Chains A and B, each alone.
Chain A
Amino acid sequence: MGKTVFIKDTAITGKDRTRDFYGVFLGTLREKGLENEVQLVRVADIGIYGQGMTVRVLPENFLYTNVQENDIPAIVQDSVVGGRPVEGKASAQPSKQLRIVLRNCGVIDPESIEDYIARDGYQALAKVLTEYTPEKVAQEIKNSGLRGRGGAGFPTGLKWDITRKAQGDQKYIICNGDEGDPGAYMDRSVLEGDPHSVIEGMTIGAYAIGASKGYFYIRAEYPLAIERIEKAMRQCHERGILGNGILGSSFNFDLEIRLGAGAFVCGEETALIASIEGKRGYPSPRPPFPSIKGLWGRPTCINNVETLANIPVIVMKGGAWFAGIGTETSKGTKVFAVTGKVKNSGLVEVPMGTAVEDVVYGICGGAMAGKNVKAIQTGGPSGGVIPKEFFQTKVDYESLQKMGSIMGSGGMIVMDEDDCMVDIAKFYLGFCVDESCGKCAPCRIGGTQMLKLLVKVTDGEGTQKDLDQLEQISFAMQKASLCGLGQTAPNPVLSTLHYYRAEYDAHVDKKKCPACKCAKLVRFMIMSEKCVKCGMCFKACPVGAISGNRESGYLIDQTKCIRCGQCFEVCKPRAISRG
């Protein structure tokens, strides 16, 4: 393979100097007569951020960051010609992903079972059916330390063992693909990108617990995921991987798909079971747990999509291998859907115990140009915020809980300095109020009252007493709600109150929104001494609240202004004040 050199200016602020640097580098190559043997390429993203000019030499993969022009001759001489790193200059790739769940996503054609089989697909199932007893499968998963990836983190092996030991003429396994957290979509991606791995994981689970029937519960908003799962199931049926006598053994197992109608509460296991039974998606008190008395009163095991996608790899490589990844209590990897005000949004799979900053800055590149990250929100509407001062926090079940957040299904929403924390709490609480099923009073009434108080605060009519009451209702909801939805709905409020009390106080005492987000507390004004009368704000205003002309200057009519901030964004000389 010939030499290839990637270059990219990774500085976050300022002009992108990649092109200038490209010219200089090419000049050096020409001097040595190498321009035809070496491919010099400007890349759009080199996977490293905020480290100046970065150069990567392939195929050896020597990496140089903060490269200056006078470093170029040494890089060309040593690495390009000599094939060795420049002493004292080469750096290592800072953070790395580890892909277990996403091992096949983007690698195989999800609609081709042959592609999956070529990547060791269904080997784990064959191994289990020929070499393992159901006890041994459950034991292997127990050894791995795998915990449920849906949020609560219950040990999967233990769940299988309990369901296996439960008495019942018929047992069921359910795959929970009712992914409802705002900003989380890793389950969809796995179902769309690697449907067979979930089917294989489920079949292994069914063998372990002694189930002959399984259900996929997927939300109807995921049409492509449903289509691909259906196709994958058909391919399995045609090849005897599902149905009677799987892979020539005496084990029978079949699958069916049930569509969720988009109710958030149906991701809760008892409500999900009610929904599959054809009833209204109401949660019911536990115990009895579904493992003992679940679908149609029979022992039922419910696992998350991501959990199941881990299973085939654990069986093939052994529980001990999996247990070697991650932290003391949280094993393996976790997929995060990093979204919000972040440079590279997308899915990231990292070993448990990776620091939050490595995910946000290292892999995803931090905030958009010119802004600063303020905090992240994990766990969706059941989770809490982690301010950037605590970004060395490790991602595992216990550490996140200690910070007042939760792992949840793995949504990670990045917020920057323009986000108001009271507004964020209001958004999540509003989501839970909309999605509350209304069965129990603490959630139904408590949520609505809390939302009213938050609206009062963001409208500038709140008092300190309201903040105290917010806390009181939160504790009542946590204690008295029937299911996880109500118990965790106040978490975003409590966590923002804890970390950003000053912002709440500013809303209440000074009637100001520090992030200038809350429409009723912010006011835009044109500072005539700075204004260059360009008329950009006049054109940008969507409601015609700005009047004037290029001679006399412009004025904002506060009664018409909807505080959208568009004029503020377009004003080049920064002549519009906000506050």
Chain B
Amino acid sequence: MIKMTKKDLDATKQKYAEADRNWIKVGFSTCGIAAGAKEVYDTLVEESRKHSADVEIKKCGCVGMCSAEPLVEVHVKNMPTVFYGKVDKEVATKIMEKHVCGKMLVNDKIYDLKLN
């Protein structure tokens, strides 16, 4: 057990601050899991290994658009950060092949949410 203080908080904050690197976030709340987020996550992880893609894949909470779950948010350097909605295995494969590796957005699946 460690006793954190304000200093440790600041140090942790700096260490884990979002550096500009590629990431994928999969909505992993009850709504996402029920819609099939687990399969999507597994597919993404598998495909990223296959392509040795430079991308971090994370599980996150619900972003709010539950009707479009499973939602996958993709950030690739020098490309707009987008949400893909109603993602299944096939779309997850496309996201990895086309978006992350090919730097091309996938058609017909983007949900252009304006959250803030």
Where the two chains meet, the residues of A that have a C-beta atom closer than 8 Å to any C-beta of B are 1-2, 4, 6, 8, 39, 41-47, 56, 58-59, 93, 96-99, 102, 104-111, 114-115, 117-118, 120, 122-123, 126, 130, 188-189, 192-194, 222, 224-225, 237-241, 245, 247-248, 343-349
Contact = CB atoms under 8 A, between A and B. Distances in A.
A192 B105 contact: no
Q: Which 7 A-B pairs have the closest CB atoms?
A: A193-B61, A106-B63, A347-B64, A240-B3, A118-B16, A248-B5, A43-B110
Contacts of B17: 118
Given A110-B60, A110-B61, A96 B116 contact: yes
Given A56-B112, A104-B61, A188-B30, 16 more contacts: A1-B78, A6-B110, A43-B110, A98-B116, A102-B63, A109-B59, A122-B9, A189-B29, A189-B62, A192-B30, A193-B60, A193-B61, A193-B62, A247-B4, A346-B68, A347-B65
Contact of B1 (A43, A118, A240): A240
A225 B113 CA distance: 25
A109 B67 CA distance: 21
Interface in B64-104: 64-68, 71, 73, 78-80, 85-86, 104
Given A4-B80, A44-B86, A189 B61 contact: yes
A371 to B, nearest CB: 16
B111 A346 contact: no
A348 B60 contact: no
B20 interface: no
A105 B64 contact: yes
A513 B63 CA distance: 39
A248 to B, nearest CB: 4
19 contacts: A1-B78, A2-B79, A4-B79, A41-B106, A43-B112, A44-B108, A58-B80, A105-B60, A106-B73, A110-B60, A189-B62, A193-B29, A222-B30, A238-B1, A239-B3, A240-B2, A343-B67, A344-B68, A346-B68
B79 A239 contact: no
A108 B67 contact: no
Contacts of A188: 29-30
B13 A130 contact: no
Chief secondary structure at chain B's binding surface: loop
B55 interface: no
A96 B114 contact: yes
A130 B67 CA distance: 43
Given A126-B6, A349-B64, A117 B105 contact: no
Contact of A109 (B3, B30, B58): B58
Given A44-B108, A56-B112, A130 B6 contact: yes
B8 to A, nearest CB: 8
Nearest to A58: B80
A422 to B, nearest CB: 28
A348 B64 contact: yes
Interface residues of B, number: 51
Interface in B19-72: 25, 27, 29-31, 33, 58-68, 71
Interface of B: 1-6, 8-9, 12-13, 15-18, 25, 27, 29-31, 33, 58-68, 71, 73, 78-80, 85-86, 104-116
Contacts of B62: 105-106, 189, 192-193, 347
B6 A109 contact: no
B82 to A, nearest CB: 8
A126 B12 CA distance: 14
A196 to B, nearest CB: 11
A245 B6 contact: no
B50 to A, nearest CB: 24
B64 A346 contact: yes
A39 B65 contact: no
A105 B63 contact: yes
A114 B16 contact: yes
A346 B67 contact: yes
A39 B105 contact: yes
A192 B29 contact: yes
A491 B39 CA distance: 44
Contacts of A106: 25, 27, 60-64, 71, 73
A99 B116 contact: yes
Given A192-B29, A194-B61, A47 B2 contact: no
Contacts of B107: 41-42
Contacts of B108: 42-44
A58 B79 CA distance: 10
B107 to A, nearest CB: 5
Contacts of B25: 106-107
B101 to A, nearest CB: 15
Contacts of A56: 112
Nearest to A107: B60
A42 B106 CA distance: 8
